[in-house]
């Protein structure tokens, strides 16, 4: 896989590759994504093979702007319009009823499709030049850490090329909301919380506590480095991740602001994973619903049967 700075020439090459049915790694504000032309079913199938991802796990369709919704969503509830106006482009995915022609490979044979508009200029330029959406999960092997920096992408991932758009500015995958149920339900937590979304739309928003096949990121073990993760109440001098002052060089401290911590979370875990420790120790996440997304990712990363 070739890694190219996101120049106009490289963007045109990426678009040509997508049109040819190849996979391309694109930067987004959340994480780097492994993209295929969403109108080419055989290209979409390559995503699952490249990642080792089960085909029962649906993909997110990335649009260039809200005008594309008319073709890619059968129904968008009016209650969701304040979110479209406020958070798109941005780290919010809406699960909506799908038109019949959308590939069942994208939707995992379901009657719903997950849609978002990424807030990254490189992704936007690719989509505009391509002229239609891409299907794009995170550019990682299934269940491994999502890359938020170009250097953390697995170089053996089967993609034609990767566009370097700099570090991701959000750092966690998008919040996924199912708008086909009442009240609307968060299937995957992200930096946009239930409270924030409820306040923006003036409606009730719940959080799913069970597995949902309508959303990616639902497996008990996910977002995990190769090195095992263990929780601890206090890091001491052990190697790992904490939320305050560090005591040793083999520790990384993240901000006590949850959105700032989210930006660096995966990069920090990638750096610790590369150091060859037997265990990565992680201090308990601070209390409060604003930390739920980070807590969710670390619970899945540390899960073992």
One DSSP character per residue, 66-119 reads: GGGHHHH-SB--GGGHHHHHHHSSSSEEEEEEPPTTS-HHHHTT-SEEEEE---
User: For residue 250, is it within any domain?
Assistant: yes
Percent of all residues in the chain with a pLDDT value above 70, rounded to a whole number: 98
User: For residue 186, is it within any domain?
Assistant: yes
Q: Give the pLDDT confidence score for residue 219 in this predicted structure.
A: 72
Residue 12 gets which letter from DSSP? H
- pLDDT-based confidence at residue 218 (cuts at 50, 70, 90): low
Percent of all residues in the chain with a pLDDT value above 90, rounded to a whole number: 93
Number of domains in the chain: 2
| 43-87 pLDDT tens trace | 999 999 999 999 999 999 999 999 999 999 999 999 999 999 999
Q: 30 and 177 share a domain?
A: yes
CB 61 within 8 A of CB 105: no
Q: Which helix or strand (DSSP H or E) is residue 10 part of?
A: helix 8-19
User: For residue 43, is it within any domain?
Assistant: yes
| 260-276 pLDDT tens trace | 999 999 999 999 999 99
Q: Residue 9: which CATH number?
A: 3.90.870.10
Dihedral sign, Cα of residue 174, residue 144, residue 108, residue 164? positive
Q: Give the pLDDT confidence score for residue 247 in this predicted structure.
A: 85
What rounded mean pLDDT belongs to the chain? 95
Whole-angstrom distance, CA of residue 239 vs CA of residue 206: 36
Whole-angstrom distance, CA of residue 143 vs CA of residue 1: 21
* Residue range(s) defining the domain that contains residue 266: 229-301
| 103-137 pLDDT tens trace | 999 999 999 999 999 999 999 999 999 999 999 99
User: For residue 72, is it within any domain?
Assistant: yes
Q: 201 and 247 share a domain?
A: no
- pLDDT-based confidence at residue 205 (cuts at 50, 70, 90): very high
CB 90 within 8 A of CB 79: no
Q: 166 and 284 share a domain?
A: no
Using the predicted structure, report yes or no on whether residue 217 has a pLDDT greater than 80.
Answer: no
Residue 287 CB partners (closer than 8 Å, separation 6+): none
Q: 198 and 233 share a domain?
A: no
Of the listed ranges 7-21, 202-216, 231-245, the one predicted with least confidence? 202-216
């Amino acid at each position: 896989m070739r890694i190219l700075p996101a120049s106009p020439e490289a963007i045109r090459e990426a678009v040509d590759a997508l049109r040819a049915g190849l996979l391309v790694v694109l930067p987004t504000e959340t994480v780097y994504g492994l993209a295929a032309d969403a109108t080419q079913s055989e290209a979409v199938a390559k995503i699952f093979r490249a990642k080792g991802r089960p085909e029962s796990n649906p993909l997110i369709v990335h649009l260039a702007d809200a005008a594309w919704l008319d073709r890619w969503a059968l129904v968008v509830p009016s209650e969701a319009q304040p979110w479209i106006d406020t958070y798109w482009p941005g780290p919010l995915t809406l699960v909506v009823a799908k038109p019949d022609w959308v590939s069942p490979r994208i939707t995992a044979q379901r009657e719903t499709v997950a849609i978002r508009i990424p807030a990254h200029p490189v992704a936007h330029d690719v989509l505009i030049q391509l002229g239609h959406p891409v299907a794009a999960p995170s550019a990682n092997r299934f269940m491994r850490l999502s890359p938020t920096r170009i250097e953390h992408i697995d170089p053996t991932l089967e993609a034609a090329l990767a566009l370097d758009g700099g570090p991701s500015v959000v750092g966690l995958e998008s919040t996924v909301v199912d708008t086909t149920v009442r009240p609307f339900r968060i299937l995957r937590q992200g930096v946009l919380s239930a409270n924030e979304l409820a306040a923006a739309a003036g409606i009730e928003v719940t959080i799913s506590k069970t597995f949902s096949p309508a959303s990616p990121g639902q497996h008990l073990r996910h977002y995990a480095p190769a090195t095992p993760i263990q929780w601890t109440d206090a890091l001491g001098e052990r190697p790992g991740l904490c939320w305050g002052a560090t005591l040793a060089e083999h520790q990384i401290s993240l901000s006590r602001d949850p959105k700032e911590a989210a930006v660096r979370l995966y990069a920090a875990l990638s750096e610790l994973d590369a150091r060859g420790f037997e265990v990565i120790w992680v201090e308990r996440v601070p209390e409060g619903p604003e930390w739920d997304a980070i807590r969710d990712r670390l619970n899945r990363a540390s899960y073992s049967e």
